[in-house]
Amino acid sequence: MKDDETGHRLAALLIQAFNGYSELRFAPILKRYLDIFREELQQAIKSENIPPRQSAKARSEAFGTSLAVLKRQMYVEMSEALADDWLAEYPEHARGESERTMHLWIDELCDATVNDALKILSDCKVVLDDADALWRRSHPQIDHHDLTAICQGPLRRAPRRPCRDRAGARPILVPKRLSPLQSP
């Protein structure tokens, strides 16, 4: 019975800790990623060097890659935050379960962010398609082979800057842009 009480107590503390920490620390970062993604799609719509849909696709892929990197950073940071003295007092099996639970929560946060990004992309679809059609009409001289070479050009690594919360937690790097494309 004592292990059961300990498990329930740990679960309640874990939920409280994760909710508070993720709201203060991760929510603003994930919101910023979505803001950057929205800005990137606006740049894709205005693209002059490559078709806007291809630009949006590259930027969407870069968003996914950046989010995957962020998720790994979130795992590490949350593990370190939970490794404080209050978690050390619980049995090893309870700590292992808390780590799995924390990973599931971070996965859910990131999945929700992906869903939000897909909604943003869906909201831009008509404008993006119109911009793409206009681009193709204004570049009739580019054949399919040239277009493929242009669209598969290398992406530059985005410059990064640290993002700190008010509590002074260690920085998670947030890209200034998700995928600045090189001009062909």
| Long-range interactions of 26-32: CB distance < 8 A, separation 24+ | 26/74, 26/106, 26/109, 28/163, 28/165, 29/70, 29/163, 29/172, 29/174, 30/70, 30/109, 30/110, 30/113, 32/163, 32/174
Asked if the model's pLDDT at residue 32 lies above 60, the reply is yes
Which residue range is the domain that position 165 belongs to? 2-151+161-175
Asked if the model's pLDDT at residue 155 lies above 60, the reply is no
- Could you give the CA distance from residue 67 to residue 72 in angstroms, rounded to a whole number? 9
Determine the pLDDT at residue 92.
67
In a domain, 184, yes or no: no
> Angle at CA 133, nearest 5°, toward 64 and 34?
25
In a domain, 180, yes or no: no
Matching residue, tokens 């800005």: 39
Per-residue pLDDT tens over the stretch 38-70: 999 999 999 988 999 999 999 999 999 999 999
SS3 28: helix
Determine the pLDDT at residue 88.
63
Asked if the model's pLDDT at residue 93 lies above 90, the reply is no
In a domain, 81, yes or no: yes
Radius of gyration of the chain (CA): 21
In a domain, 156, yes or no: no
Neighbours of 109 (CB within 10 A): 16
Asked if the model's pLDDT at residue 169 lies above 60, the reply is no
In a domain, 94, yes or no: yes
Count structural domains, the chain: 1
Per-residue pLDDT tens over the stretch 99-153: 787 888 899 999 999 999 999 999 999 999 999 999 989 988 876 555 555 555 4
- Could you give the CA distance from residue 153 to residue 149 in angstroms, rounded to a whole number? 6
In a domain, 64, yes or no: yes
Instruction: Give the rounded percent of residues in the chain with a pLDDT score beyond 90.
Output: 41
Determine the pLDDT at residue 84.
62
In a domain, 39, yes or no: yes
pTM strictly above 0.85: no
The residues, any chain, with a CB within 8 Å of residue 116's CB and separated by 6 or more, are 34
Q: Is the dihedral of CA 116, 72, 104, 23 positive or negative?
A: negative
In a domain, 31, yes or no: yes
Residue 95: which pLDDT band, with cuts at 50, 70 and 90? low
Do 84 and 18 contact (CB within 8 A), yes or no?
no
Determine the pLDDT at residue 81.
74
